Amino acid sequence: MRQVTEAELKQFYPDFVPWQLGRVQIIRKKDHHIPEDALTVTRRTPFGNPFYMTDPKDPECHEIVVREFRKWIAKPEQAWRVTQFLNLVRHSEFHHLACNCKTSEICHADVWIEIWMKQGV
Ligand SMILES: [Zn+2]
């Protein structure tokens, strides 16, 4: 599947302005719920980061796997994920992306947010 170009997006959605996506952390506690407007982008989903950190406590490891994700998601064979993600967000009420990372940490969800913000402008 090929990637939808910006020109095509503008053609089909001329008035479309992407809304701001934010990040939330999934905390596995009894009384903690992620917001209903959050799309989960963990490894169990098609939007997860397939790269593993050697040391999740090391900020540099976060940067490395996010860098790997950024390269990987830009590959033509991953274009279907980008298309699926953009369609899902465009036609939904999602305003947050939920991952296990702390929001203070760099996360592959930041790359998804960049992709989202870039495609409509
Ligand atoms: Zn994350």
On whether residue 95 sits in a domain, the answer given is: yes
CA 73 – ligand 1 centroid, Å: 15
Residue 64, in any domain of the structure: yes
pTM of the model: 0.82
How far, in Å, is the centroid of ligand 1 from the Cα of 98? Answer: 8
Question: Is pLDDT at 119 greater than 70 in this prediction?
Answer: yes
Across the chain, mean pLDDT equals 87
Which residue bears the tokens 């495609």? 119
State how many domains the chain has.
1
Task: Evaluate whether residue 105 is within a structural domain.
Answer: yes
Alpha carbon of 27 to ligand 1 centroid (Å): 12
Q: The domain containing residue 27 runs over which residues?
A: 6-119
Residue 72 scores a pLDDT above 80: yes
Q: Is 100 part of a structural domain of the chain?
A: yes
Confirm whether 52 is domain-assigned.
Answer: yes
Q: Let me know if residue 77 belongs to a domain.
A: yes
Residue 70 CA to ligand 1 centre (angstroms): 13
Alpha-carbon distance of 115 to 121, in angstroms, equals 11
- Structural domain includes residue 1: no
Report if residue 59 sits inside a domain. yes
